[in-house]
Amino acid sequence: MILPRTPSFRLDGRSALVTGAGRGIGLALAAALAGAGAAVTLVARTGDEVEAAAAAIREAGGQATATTLDVADLDAVADFFAERPAFHILVNNAGTNRPKPMQDVTRDDYDAVLGLNLRSAFFVAQGCVQRMLADGVRGSLIHLGSQMGHVGGVDRSLYCASKWGLEGMSKGFALDLAAHGIRSNTIAPTFIETPLTRPYFEDAAFKARVLAKIKLGRVGTVEDLMGATLYLASDASALVTGTSIVVDGGWTAD
């Protein structure tokens, strides 16, 4: 009897791009891809931070380079992709949030959140895909969404708008690109403790409200997202496109 072989989660010989990779979730996902053998390019607005992140991955034995890039600058994004061969994997991670009631949202708030979370994500993916098509590269687009792209949230109208939009965007990409062997999916986390979110959890009432919704009883960590990223980046998910892996501890289950 010949047993089926489990598809490999290894990424040897593949290149990956991670945006917003200087710290937090982006750094963790870059480390996960490098640990599986990918050559990872980390980009972020802050040069010193992203250089240190890439250096840490190299010190751990991975392949990593750093580039300072503001993904909100679409001309710079276009130049970035024009100067490089195609990537096999994109992790569209850069994002922001301005939590406040919808009646208090300003035009500047709207432009900042939708501009980075959706507009920049779209054109980073487009730039990546155009190079993939030109070079005949098949691969995987992974967009960091949120549980708030599947439900609503108090003081999260802008964030929900951007992340629901990201879900629809990814499904559209999946249909456009399937014939080219390019997959598109999202990862939708619950609240993840990072340097950016840690101050929120110093508010005991806020933390209690969050924990009441997360059925597994704890706030997420960046490590909770690393396995899902490797799965979507690798051959293990070869038939997976146009969907979302919700890593929310059960938040959206009820």
3-state secondary structure the chain: CCCCCCCCCCCCCCEEEEECCCCHHHHHHHHHHHHCCCEEEEEECCHHHHHHHHHHHHHCCCEEEEEECCCCCHHHHHHHHHCCCCCCEEEECCCCCCCCCHHHCCHHHHHHHHHHHHHHHHHHHHHHHHHHHHHCCCEEEEEECCHHHCCCCCCCHHHHHHHHHHHHHHHHHHHHHHHHCEEEEEEEECCECCCCCHHHHHCHHHHHHHHHHCCCCCCECHHHHHHHHHHHHCHHHCCCCCCEEEECCCHHHC
* Residue 144, strand partner residues: 187
Task: Record the pTM.
Answer: 0.97
CATH topology of domain 15-247: Rossmann fold (3.40.50)
Closest to 131 in 3D by CA, of 239, 39, 13, 17:
17
Q: What is the pLDDT of residue 254?
A: 85
Q: What is the pLDDT of residue 247?
A: 98
> Mean pLDDT throughout 28-45?
98
159 is a catalytic site residue:
yes
Q: What is the pLDDT of residue 188?
A: 98
Is residue 200 scored above 90 in pLDDT? Answer: no
Q: What is the pLDDT of residue 195?
A: 82
The percent of residues above 70 in pLDDT, for the chain, comes to: 100
Q: Which of 110, 159, 200, 231 is catalytic?
A: 159
Give tens-digit pLDDT for 141-170: 999 999 999 999 999 999 999 999 999 999
Give tens-digit pLDDT for 206-234: 999 999 999 999 999 999 999 999 999 99
Locate the domains of the chain by residue range: 15-247
Q: If you average pLDDT over every residue of the chain, what do you get? A: 97
Q: What is the pLDDT of residue 197?
A: 86
Cα–Cα distance measured from residue 187 to residue 229, given in angstroms and rounded to the nearest whole number:
8
**Cα–chain-centroid distance for residue 47?**
20
Is residue 129 scored above 90 in pLDDT? Answer: yes
